[in-house]
Amino acid sequence: MIKIKNLNKHFAKHKVLNDINLQFNAGECVALIGPNGSGKTTLIKSILALVTIEKGEINVQNENIRNQSAYRSTIGYMPQINRFPEHMSVHQLFNMMKSIRSEVTDYDLSLYEAFDIESMGKKKLGILSGGMRQKVSAALAFLFKPKILILDEPTAGLDPVSNEILKQKLKESIEKENKLVLITSHILNDLDDIADRVVYLMDGSLYFDKQMRALKEETSESRLNKIIASILNTENQYV
């Protein structure tokens, strides 16, 4: 579904992604992890063409994304930081998004309903709490039934019940609907139940890309934080 070939990205003289080669397939939940500043968000933004790529190629559903944007309608994106129009109400935001994507008439409202977004419909986006913003962002990511979900720190700020609702939704999307989920999180416990593959970036390079099953066997650990600690020898190297 997504194929990344020899991806390199600089910000001025700072090399942020160093010759990344990866392929992500339908029905997979890939945890993209690594220390702060290792390039996770930049990799995600490269897939979404939110940053320019100077070298390398990215294909989404067999199409090179260079100089095109239509492919983005197949991706539901939950950014790390939401930049909503602050003066707009939640209702207005959903209506605006629906009018932009007017070709879609069959919505996935399951998170909208589970998070009771209707009850905050009249609130201005600028006054929402951090968790409320995350809920709005998650409901929007699923709304147009995308085949690919890219979620950057989706559980940050979510209360435990909402966290479980989102994880359950992700599980169903992968197992029943064969969607591709690419997810970053520093809360490794949140990835334990859903990730079946781990891609670890370090200083902009691919440190490892392994199936969760293989990692468990290799390290004799069952939890991702223990697995990572075991691979890196000390937990301090991760944080």
What does residue 224 show for φ and ψ, rounded to 5 degrees?
-60, -40
Q: Cα separation of 142 and 12, whole Å?
A: 35
Q: Cα separation of 7 and 65, whole Å?
A: 13
Q: Which tokens sit at 196?
A: 């079946």
Q: In terms of CB distance, is 38 or 162 closer to ligand ATP?
A: 38
Q: Does 16 bind ligand ATP (CB under 6 A)?
A: yes
Which segment (34-42, 54-62, 110-118, 164-172) binds ligand ATP by CB under 6 A?
A: 34-42
Question: x/- contact string, 63-82, with ligand ATP (CB under 6 A)?
Answer: -----------------x--
Which segment (40-48, 121-129, 142-150, 159-167) binds ligand ATP by CB under 6 A?
A: 40-48
Q: Cα separation of 27 and 34, whole Å?
A: 23
Least distance to ligand ATP, CB of residue 216, Å: 24
Least distance to ligand ATP, CB of residue 10, Å: 9
Q: Cα separation of 203 and 18, whole Å?
A: 8
Q: Which helix (H) or strand (E) holds 219?
A: helix 212-219
Q: Does 41 bind ligand ATP (CB under 6 A)?
A: yes
Least distance to ligand ATP, CB of residue 3, Å: 20
Q: Does 119 bind ligand ATP (CB under 6 A)?
A: no
> 65: helix, coil or strand?
coil
User: Which positions are annotated as active-site residues?
Assistant: 153
Number of residues that bind ligand ATP (CB under 6 A): 11
Please compute, for residue 17, the number of CA atoms within 13 A of its CA located in the half-sphere on the CB side.
27
Residue that the structure tokens 């090179």 belong to? 64
Residue 204 and residue 36 in contact, taking contact as beta carbons nearer than 8 Å: no
Q: Does 46 bind ligand ATP (CB under 6 A)?
A: no
Residue 106: CB atoms within 10 A of its CB come to 7
Q: In terms of CB distance, is 11 or 208 closer to ligand ATP?
A: 11
Least distance to ligand ATP, CB of residue 9, Å: 8
Q: Does 38 bind ligand ATP (CB under 6 A)?
A: yes
Q: Which tokens sit at 182?
A: 């690419």
Least distance to ligand ATP, CB of residue 64, Å: 22
Instruction: Catalog residues that contact ligand ATP under the rule CB under 6 A.
Output: 11, 16, 34, 36-42, 80
